[in-house]
Structure 1
Amino acid sequence: MLRAADIMTTDVATIRSSATVAEAVKLMKARGWHALIVERRHDQDAYGIITETDIVYKVIAFGKDPAKVRVYEIMSKPCIVVNPDLGVEYVARLFAEHRLLRAPVIQGELMGIISLVDIINESKFLELPRAVVLKQELEDAIKKARLTCRETSPRSEECAIAWDIVDELQAELAHQEAKRVSKTAFEEYCEEFPEAMETRMFDTWCSG
């Protein structure tokens, strides 16, 4: 699975919150950047972000002098950040939920920035949609679970662990497709081998 770190842009610029919008625009024009990350004042501070949209909507649209408006007056802070290890489809979901165009990639320190363009251009969603991959992984996991249970026992711990993996994949696929699972693969297996439920019930009692 592609991660945010695999498709992010590492060529990213920062700017002080006390800088003027005119300075921000000059920096953006110099490298063709669409956004700047606003530096933290100290280690416990949050990163901010100033974008072209902020400048157009909050400065130009009101006829304000960019040389007199400070970055901190129009920036977004704290800004939503992306973990570099987050899967691309979850990055896309985060963007959709918060209507984001771009976000900094941070893990302790600033590593890069990721945008809608990066997601579209660099991800493999056209050639290999995540739902297709999950369906194949689910089919393989079901086959492996049945084989494991046949080689050990429907009551074995190995069998229970194998079906836990199937459950997780099936739940993720259902979430991906926004569908409700009427009957899980494990429940179908238990119709053939009711004794398989005993191990899971025992695990539930122990955990409770």
Structure 2
Amino acid sequence: MNTPILVKEVMWKEVDIIDSKSTVQNALNDMQHKKTKMLVVDKAHEHDEYGVILISDIAAKVIAKGRALDRVNAYEVMTKPAISVHPDMDIRYCAKLLTRLNLSRCPVLDNGEIVGVVSLTNIVLNGLRVLQ
């Protein structure tokens, strides 16, 4: 049996976390600066959950509705709780989960803390590299 490739071997470890009260304009500036399509929205308190903001959330919930980017806060457009995976998950199961839920990426949580972000691109491209 082949040794499985794990999420932690292909995930992106640079995680962009913003405050839920940040404006969508600030979130977009972060996305452009860091060349990312997803930001993680931090927990407000210990028993809270992480959220995520995707480019598609901003397009559908702000731009399409004619709302001002600097007058909408992250918490108004984020998806929460964020679907997340564990760093020790086999990438085959991660790929199945993401595609079944129609997601392209999600945060990686270990003991309730964000340790990375995994995307289908990471899985396909980096998974191939690890396999060779």
Report if TM-score (shorter chain) is over 0.5. Answer: yes
Match of 1:14 among 1, 14, 17: 17
Alignment of 1:124 with 2:128, yes or no, is yes
How far the C-alpha of 1:36 sits from its partner, in A, is 0.4
In 2, Cα distance between the equivalents of 1:95 and 1:79?
12
Counterpart of 1:87, as a letter, is D
Unpaired runs of 5+ in structure 1?
A: 129-208
Alignment of 1:112 with 2:108, yes or no, is no
Unpaired runs of 5+ in structure 2?
A: none
In 1, Cα distance between the equivalents of 2:46 and 2:10?
26
Match of 2:62 in 1: 59
In 1, Cα distance between the equivalents of 2:30 and 2:114?
18
Question: 2:106 is paired with a residue of what secondary structure?
Answer: strand
Question: 2:70 is paired with a residue of what secondary structure?
Answer: coil
* Structure with bigger RCO (C-alpha 8 Å, 6+ apart): 2
Normalising by structure 2, what TM-score?
A: 0.91
Deviations 1:7-57 (A, max 9, x none): 000111100111110010011111111110000112221110001111111
Of all paired residues, the percent bearing the same amino acid is 35
Match of 1:85 among 85, 88, 99: 88
In 2, Cα distance between the equivalents of 1:67 and 1:96?
33
Normalising by structure 1, what TM-score?
A: 0.59
Match of 2:8 in 1: 5
How far the C-alpha of 1:124 sits from its partner, in A, is 3.0
Match of 1:153 in 2: none
Question: 1:105 is paired with a residue of what secondary structure?
Answer: strand
Counterpart of 1:20, as a letter, is T
Match of 2:30 among 27, 30, 45: 27
Deviations 1:109-165 (A, max 9, x none): 11010111111111139x68xxxxxxxxxxxxxxxxxxxxxxxxxxxxxxxxxxxxx
Match of 2:52 in 1: 49
In 1, Cα distance between the equivalents of 2:75 and 2:10?
29
In 2, Cα distance between the equivalents of 1:81 and 1:25?
22
Match of 1:97 in 2: 100
Q: Which has the larger radius of gyration?
A: 1
